[in-house]
Each structure stands twice: as C-alpha cells, then as structure tokens.
Amino acid sequence: GENVEQHPSTLSVQEGDSAVIKCTYSDSASNYFPWYKQELGKRPQLIIDIRSNVGEKKDQRIAVTLNKTAKHFSLHITETQPEDSAVYFCAASVPLMKTSYDKVIFGPGTSLSVIP
C-alpha cells in the first residue's frame, strides 16, 4: 500500500519550546523521506530530507529521525520561533513495482503555531 500518516494535525507551542511531528509510512521499500514547510499563501519548500541508509540528520534547529523497522520518522524543531509557524508536510517515496521509478506521497500536513 501507499499511505503516509502524520500526527498531530495541529500543534501549538510557546516560543522557545520544541515541536515534534511524527509520520508513519506503509511501504517497507520507501527509502527517501523529505519534509516540506508551507507558509501561508506560499509554495511548499524543502527543509530537510533523510534517506534510509541513515537514522538521523540534523540541520541547525531542525532534525529528522528515521526508524525503518517501525516505519516511522519524525521532525524535531528546537527553540521554536514565530517564523516557524507554517504547515509541515512529511513525505515518503513509494517505488512503482517492477521499475526503478518512485513517486513521493505526502502526509496530510501539520499546522504548527508558535506563540510569542
């Protein structure tokens, strides 16, 4: 199957606190997991991605962890700031059977609000 679930759907945190968004995927062959941020009225933009050969990746205040056995991955934002307020989408690659082609399936999104 091809399904990416994402929780929570909405998240409010105080400025300076951490935010965690969790995603699960169904296809064990998935091997690419990007995260996109979409600010209100703007287009989605990649903030970080991870491939299945690593378990964790960090970029300043943002980190992503991947548990292939459990088929879930998480986004961690530390020291949140008001400009982190946006909708965050996780995604997972889904290979097309008997080909080397993939498609990228997105989760439903998490609306993060950082309260000053």
Partner 1 sequence: KAGVTQTPRYLIKTRGQQVTLSCSPISGHRSVSWYQQTPGQGLQFLFEYFSETQRNKGNFPGRFSGRQFSNSRSEMNVSTLELGDSALYLCASSRGLLNEQFFGPGTRLTVL
Q: Does 107 bind partner 1 (CB under 8 A)?
A: yes
What counts of helices (H) and strands (E) characterise the chain? Answer: 0, 11
Q: Does 53 bind partner 1 (CB under 8 A)?
A: no
**Cis status of the peptide bond prior to 82, with omega within 30 of 0:** no
For residues 76 and 19, is the Cβ–Cβ distance under 8 A?
yes
> Nearest 5 degrees, angle CA 47-CA 5-CA 8?
75
Residue (14 or 99) nearer to partner 1, CB: 99
Q: Does 62 bind partner 1 (CB under 8 A)?
A: no
Q: Does 109 bind partner 1 (CB under 8 A)?
A: yes
User: Residue 103 CA to chain centroid, in angstroms?
Assistant: 16
Q: Which of 45, 55, 67, 82 binds partner 1 (CB under 8 A)?
A: 45
Sites of contact with partner 1 (CB under 8 A): 6, 31-32, 34, 43-46, 49, 89, 91, 93, 96, 99, 101-109
